Amino acid sequence: MALSQTKGVEFGWHAADFDLMGADGRRYSLKDVRGPRGTLVIFMCNHCPYVQAALEMMIADAKGLRPMGIGSVAIMPNDVKAYPADSLQNMAKLADEKGLPFPYVIDDTQAVARTYGAVCTPEFYGFNEDLELKYHGRIADFSGLSPVANAKHEMFDALAMIAATGEGPAEQKPSIGCSIKWR
């Protein structure tokens, strides 16, 4: 497991469109997942222990953000030949077992991950209603694979702020996780 940390990005750039196959057998584009007040794009996979540690929090946060007008999508960017645990079939199994409240789609060419500049899983991008990037940070403060006691849900709070004001927080801490498994 190679550990990576997100890089700084230019806030205000617009979310790139995509057309990706979902674990449910449907194709999804940005317009299909976009919320009226903002959009959360998550890069994740099945096998990463950092994703596994944060998955219940991601699910709860996405459910809590939906009534605020935030749409969500999870994109799996890894090379599935090298990491078969991340295959579309296994993505469907995880989506079903966990009841994911967002489409879980596969970036089989890795073009979307490259366009977004994603480097790790999990990695979170929060866009306002105009699809301008306003958050690129972590879900919460973790110590290893456990959330720090009484840690704020930084990603949730940031997306709630985006839904209410169109702007993200001034201070954002990078996400840490497994490096994307590039071909």
Reported pTM: 0.95
Residue in 119, 43, 38 with CA at minimum distance from that of residue 71: 38
pLDDT at position 24 over 80: yes
pLDDT at position 33 over 90: yes
Fold of 3-179: Glutaredoxin (3.40.30)
* HEC string for 131-168: CEEEEEECCCCEECCEECCCCCCHHHHHHHHHHHHCCC
Structure confidence at residue 8 (pLDDT) = 58
